Structure 1
């Protein structure tokens, strides 16, 4: 970071603090933190109001100009950079594998399954098993 950039950052912070202070010192209709002017002081109430209004305008203008200058300096400083690719990994170079057929997980299930025992019903010797989800037969 250049010393001019650092100086302008500190200067902008000081200008911002002064701008907040001057704005809070102005007398408002709502009765903020206004400065009470007395004729015995160096400045009259009207003179103090004019001074605070002018100083607000000057400080706001200086703040905007310094902000634009800092933004331009930051863009100029960042434009010469490139993307850091020091951690970029190179993919291993290899021949693509031949496509394989999809594997059916249930293909061997019928061969390895134990044989179903015939349903023994006490009433009928070799009767077909009853499907509990079948619709009842009409008579």
Structure 2
């Protein structure tokens, strides 16, 4: 269900972008800005593209709210912040990498001689 709403949401977004770009740029599209007639009233004639834009915008908001509700109902546990504040138990030892057996990862000191050292010695 979430996938279907998400696909519809994306299609609405692309269609809304296209419809907005097709409108006149002189402010006649949604009544924003100045227009030719009725400049003092703030209202312009409702064109077909303006009505389509409003319809697509309302549908886009509805799908956004639906996706938010679905995402909230799918989250079984609490907030992400609740998971961050949980501290691991102090009794558990820190995990070690297999095969290290507690050996130091630092290279040997210059005075220390090891037979299995991987550090080359200068002649």
* TM-score (normalised: structure 2): 0.49
Q: Which has the higher contact order (CA 8 A, sep 6+)?
A: 2
* TM-score (normalised: structure 1): 0.44
Higher gyration radius (CA): 1
